[in-house]
Homo-oligomer: A and B are copies of this chain.
């Protein structure tokens, strides 16, 4: 008698993006004439750069010639790409070996799958608010209790508060936890952790033998040279951290799909020797994954060429100029906000007494602009609202104009 994995039933019913889609659809049906302006989803909109297009075409052409055709590649990714990544990290001052890098089809699969190599009884800590995938993957794996609709919280999960008071970077947990998810620059708050803040977490992890799962998917949006772009810039981090990254936001690969996870040889957990955790992730990938597309890996190699890097940085600048336009607009109407400087996300504080979802409805009905309610990212997101800088310039400008003209504060 087959039964389902009952942990799925624990998942909070009203998943964020479908609920946004539902409300938007309902609004559009009632007001078919209003052109909606999206500042909601963190999805890239600008074309791939010329070098990357060339790289991808090279990848395709290789499969058309007998001498260069390849079938199954290594589950860990092309050696050349792993070496290239190690060199790129090195150029940023971080020493890792190619063997520490595992190429994948994206940061989302990696950040949801990484928990599976750890014990089922692990205590999980997440920033609150946080990217829902960290939470949901652990709910499904059975590491949480039930969800309370009232509290917007799962039992047994340790929520690390990110508030205005702590500049949206949490204090280390006041109890022992096993796995700690950190995301910097943060989705959704746009906050970026300093060296000092990350050092406190690394020290905590070393002391408590915890593992930090560091999501660096937005690190290329950091322009301030004083801010760390990798957890491995922090002393001791290699002994206690895994880092996840991708080309989605740096090079527009959201639909192309390429990410990587760094599991340093030095990483150890209770009872393990150096290299053992890395071998475990290797075994996981070899069993559950068959390598990133060979075409896409050629495109990734092109990103890390001199020209490719330059073009990807221009892409980042484009989106960051969008962020400036959004910030100027919401500043002009007197709304308070955070982020948006070293991150493509702007974390808007909703006006006094207005909940995240109420602000969603207000913004939609008054301005036609769609954003993301902060409470969708956890209890700590209540009273906030995420605006995303991903979009065509014209659309961003129209959205901001509409907010300036029509938002009734």
Interface residues of A (CB under 8 A from B): 1-6, 8, 11, 15, 41, 43-48, 50, 53, 56-57, 60-61, 63-66, 69-73, 105-106, 108-109, 112-113, 116-122, 133, 136-137, 140, 142, 176, 178-179, 208-211, 252, 254-257, 269-272, 276-277, 280, 283-284, 286-296, 390, 392
Contacts and interface: CB of A to CB of B under 8 A. Distances in A.
Contacts of A70: 255
A230 to B, nearest CB: 20
Contacts of A66: 46-47, 392
| Shortest beta-carbon contacts, A-B, top 4 | A71-B254, A255-B294, A3-B119, A43-B71
Contact of A2 (B136, B270, B287): B270
Contact of A209 (B1, B61, B120, B140): B1
7 contacts: A1-B209, A3-B122, A63-B256, A71-B390, A108-B290, A112-B288, A295-B295
A252 B293 CA distance: 12
B289 A179 contact: no
A347 to B, nearest CB: 21
Contacts of A50: 64
Determine which residue in A1, A120, A296, A392 has the highest number of CB atoms from chain B within 10 A of its CB, and name it: A1
Given A53-B60, A140-B116, A256-B294, A1 B210 contact: yes
Contacts of A113: 288
Contacts of A210: 1-2
A214 to B, nearest CB: 14
Contact of A3 (B118, B254, B294): B118
A282 to B, nearest CB: 11
Contacts of A109: 288-290
A70 B254 CA distance: 8
B270 A1 contact: yes
A335 B386 CA distance: 68
A5 B255 contact: no
A209 B2 contact: yes
Given A63-B47, A69-B46, A72-B43, A257 B2 contact: no
Nearest to A55: B60
A72 to B, nearest CB: 5
Nearest to A105: B105
A377 to B, nearest CB: 15
Nearest to A66: B47
A290 B291 CA distance: 15
